[in-house]
Amino acid sequence: MSKLSHVNIVKIFDAKEIAGSNNDVSIYMVTEYCNQGDLEQLIFKKRGSLSEHEILNYFLQIVEGYQYLHQNGVMHRDLKPQNLLLHDGVIKIADFGMSKIKPEGLAYEENTRKVGTPFYNSLQVLRSEGYTNKCDVWALGVTLYFMLYGEVPWKIMAGLTKFNLDKIVEQVVSEGLLFPDEIDSNKRALFDLNPKVLPLLQQTRVSQETKNLLKMLLVLDEEARIDWEELFQICDSIKNKIDVGINTINENTNKRYLKRIHQSQNSQQIDLDDSKVNFIQKEQQNILEVIKELDIQQIIS
Ligand SMILES: Nc1ncnc2c1ncn2[C@@H]1O[C@H](COP(=O)(O)OP(=O)(O)O)[C@@H](O)[C@H]1O
Ligand SMILES: [Mg+2]
């Protein structure tokens, strides 16, 4: 694990096994420090105030980190906001306590062991059935839902206990995922959240594209669930759309300001002195700030 080196993976510098008094062994790891803590803390702190664009940006970073793990034959098996750390706005996948390494040149062994965190476990993991590294696709779907709405989709269902979690998960997904911003009065009774929290979640507005992405990740049947290669492609196209949107706006801004300067000079030759260049750059910065706050749909449509 200490050989892994990627900006979106927490760096492990050293690990030591130390034997305890009862023949048990503890593993101590020295890792890079992440100055903004974990993603769960951030979501709770900022509940409702992160834009969809910022959340998708985090999501893309997690997928980039995972792509590196995938290339190195690592299956994480405990992806969740608590195990995603933040340092200066950069996401780092952490806590490899449940991860599994693929034997070189071979496929992943069949997994049936129930590991990880129940709310983020796929049905196959919850029921100790055979599962592949698509269990991490599922966990990422629950993580994205949590980032957008501040809760996992199962926790907002009435009647949830730790003994019926698999049944609730199956019911919620097969009936079509529930989104707090689409709750009508018929469905309201299904929600079991603190009445102070629900209105907050209902204010969140998530684009149809992102809801479709959630529905692709949270597919009950492993065979039918998208695999990592497909997800990498989808993320590339999301990234391109965002980049194209920003470049187009940059280009249009440049043109608009150059035109304005041109007009103000009565069609004389454009003379871009430092103050004008600074002015243009500052305006671009302001516009980029505004873009960050915009709904992703407005940027990519
Ligand atoms: N390198 C780090 N920088 C900052 N916070 C960390 C770091 N590593 C762990 N933490 C915090 O400690 C929590 C537990 O660490 P983790 O490695 O996930 O161990 P475990 O879940 O097995 O107890 C994380 O959810 C995070 O809040
Ligand atoms: Mg952890």
With tokens 């603190």, the residue in question is: 194
Active-site pick, 24, 38, 78, 136: 78
| Residue 48 and residue 152 in one domain | yes
Percent of the chain with pLDDT over 90: 47
Query: 168, 195, 226 — which closes off a domain?
Result: 226
Work out the angle at residue 259's Cα, subtended by the Cα atoms of residues 253 and 261, and round it to the nearest 5 degrees.
105
Residues 136 and 141: their CA atoms lie apart, in Å, by 9
pLDDT at 298 over 60: no
In a domain, 4, yes or no: no
| Residue 219 and residue 264 in one domain | no
In a domain, 30, yes or no: no
| Residue 190 and residue 46 in one domain | yes
Q: How far is the CA of 95 from the centre of ligand 1 (A)?
A: 7
| Residue 285 and residue 219 in one domain | no
The answer to whether the Cα torsion of 191, 193, 196, 202 is positive or negative is negative
- In testing the pocket of ligand 1, which one of 29, 95, 96, 98 has its CB within 8 Å of the most ligand atoms? 95
> Quick count: other Cβ atoms within 10 Å of Cβ 145?
23
Q: What is the mean pLDDT of the chain?
A: 84
Q: Which one of the ligands is nearest to 42 CA? A: 1
Tell me which residue range forms the domain holding 222.
35-226
| Residue 154 and residue 270 in one domain | no
| Residue 105 and residue 176 in one domain | yes
pLDDT tens digit string along 157-202?
Answer: 778 888 899 999 999 899 888 888 887 766 666 676 666 666 667 7
- In testing the pocket of ligand 1, which one of 10, 78, 85 has its CB within 8 Å of the most ligand atoms? 85
The answer to whether the Cα torsion of 25, 92, 79, 67 is positive or negative is negative
pLDDT value, residue 257:
60
CATH code assigned at 99: 1.10.510.10
| Residue 269 and residue 294 in one domain | yes
The stretches of the chain forming alpha helices (DSSP H) are 39-45, 52-71, 123-126, 134-149, 165-174, 185-188, 198-203, 208-217, 228-264, 274-293, 296-300
Q: Which two tokens stand for residue 61?
A: 């970073």
pLDDT at 259 over 70: no
Q: How far is the CA of 34 from the centre of ligand 1 (A)?
A: 9
Return the ligand 1 atom nearest residue 10 CA.
1
In a domain, 8, yes or no: no
By CB atoms closer than 10 A (0-12, 13-18, 19+), residue 98 is: middle
The residue among 267 and 192 whose pLDDT is bigger is 192
Work out the angle at residue 223's Cα, subtended by the Cα atoms of residues 173 and 73, and round it to the nearest 5 degrees.
110
pLDDT tens digit string along 54-102?
Answer: 999 999 999 999 999 999 999 999 999 999 999 999 999 999 989 998 8
Query: 195, 226, 257 — which closes off a domain?
Result: 226
Nearest protein Cα to ligand 1, atom 25: 82
| Residue 154 and residue 271 in one domain | no
In a domain, 9, yes or no: no
In a domain, 252, yes or no: yes
| Residue 92 and residue 195 in one domain | yes
Q: How far is the CA of 133 from the centre of ligand 2 (A)?
A: 18
Nearest protein Cα to ligand 1, atom 23: 95
In a domain, 19, yes or no: no
**Pocket around ligand 1: residues whose beta carbon is below 6 Å from it?**
10, 31, 33-34, 37-38, 82-83, 85, 94-95, 97
Mean pLDDT value across residues 102-108: 71
The answer to whether the Cα torsion of 81, 82, 84, 88 is positive or negative is positive
pLDDT tens digit string along 17-26?
Answer: 888 888 888 8
Nearest protein Cα to ligand 1, atom 13: 82
pLDDT at 260 over 70: no
pLDDT tens digit string along 34-66?
Answer: 999 999 999 988 877 788 999 999 999 999 999
| Residue 86 and residue 156 in one domain | yes
Assess whether 236 carries a catalytic annotation.
Answer: no
Q: pTM above the 0.85 mark?
A: no
| Residue 161 and residue 287 in one domain | no
Instruction: Give the residue among 160, 74, 175, 166 at the shortest CA–CA distance from 121.
Output: 166
In a domain, 1, yes or no: no
The full DSSP string for 32-58 is: ---TT-BHHHHHHHTTTTS-HHHHHHH
| Residue 217 and residue 251 in one domain | no
Mean pLDDT value across residues 150-163: 84
Q: Domain total for the chain?
A: 2
CA atoms within 13 A on the CB side of 175: 13
In a domain, 244, yes or no: yes
